[in-house]
Amino acid sequence: MHNSQLFSDSLPKHIAIIMDGNGRWAKAQGKPRVFGHKAGVKAVRKTITTAARLHIQAITLFAFSSENWRRPEEEVGLLMELFVTVLAREIKKLHKNNLRLRVIGDTSRFNDKLQQKIAEAEALTADNTGMVINIAANYGGRWDIAQAARQLASAVAANEITPEQIDEQALAPYLTMADLPDVDLLIRTSGECRISNFMLWQLAYAEMYFTSVCWPDFNEDSLIEAITWFIDRERRFGCTGEQIKALMNAEQ
């Protein structure tokens, strides 16, 4: 087998990232928290570019949790504004690169303008065949399971399925991201080691990688380091960051 083929097979298919530490990163420089969120956008761009070059099938980024509404109103407002401007600014480029963008979560609580931008971005890129980028916004792992259960209950009420027939396979299709493989690599930045109600079902067998790097400092090398760790964890064979870089350059 060709060496790079061997490597492609051992890459994670679905990477999920809890992008944490924007606020602390800004505070360490004596800047307001929103400065960290803005810097975090650059890290998102780098991460997407690197993952796409490696032909990762899907990447899911935790941008706003269902619990983040508890933050000061001003910060929430600024984050919403940032979503709108970034979506508007980046979507054409994503489309040009054949990438598919989806927003996962209860978007009904977002303002009309943001909901409209999200719908436009999803529609524009819906038929693209490259990497799927899921932005988890107003997402919670428990919400995901609850909304799946609600749909399943409706199916029971419509006599399409009986309660006795409900098992894992019956629930799974109603979860968000049901068409994608389960997450095989979870990354959380900023040294925190918890899931914070991110994907619960889909993380059942994920390898979990925690790094002390704050999100705005996360770059191509950081992602390669995480992937190298993942491949070595899987014990397929020892691999180095250089080998992954070579693969990335070979497959452009």
Q: Smallest distance from the beta carbon of 61 to Mg ion, in angstroms?
A: 14
Choose, by CB under 6 A, the member of 11, 15, 16, 18 that binds ligand IPE.
18
Q: How far is CA 175 from the centre of its chain?
A: 15
Stretch that binds Mg ion, among 14-22, 77-85, 208-216, 221-229 (CB under 5 A): 14-22
Question: Would you say 192 and 20 are in contact if contact means Cβ atoms under 8 Å apart?
Answer: yes
Q: What amino acid positions are annotated as catalytic residues? A: 20, 68
Q: Is 109 annotated as a binding residue?
A: no
Q: Is 150 annotated as a binding residue?
A: no
Q: How far apart are CA 83 and CA 136, in angstroms?
A: 12
Q: How far apart are CA 139 and CA 209, in angstroms?
A: 21
Question: Judged by CB under 5 A, does residue 20 bind Mg ion?
Answer: yes
Residues 6+ away with beta carbon under 8 Å from 173:
none
Stretch that binds ligand IPE, among 83-91, 148-156, 178-186, 191-199 (CB under 6 A): 191-199
Q: Is 196 annotated as a binding residue?
A: yes
Name residue 101's beta-bridge partners: 133
Indicate the residue among 125 and 189 with the shorter CB distance to ligand IPE.
Answer: 189
| CB half-sphere exposure, 190, CA atoms < 13 A | 19
Q: How far apart are CA 213 and CA 159, in angstroms?
A: 51
Q: Is 102 annotated as a binding residue?
A: no
Which residue ranges make up the annotated binding site? Answer: 20-25, 33, 37, 65-67, 69, 71, 188, 194-196, 207
Binding site for Mg ion (CB under 5 A): 20
Per the annotation, binding residues for Mg(2+) are: 20, 207
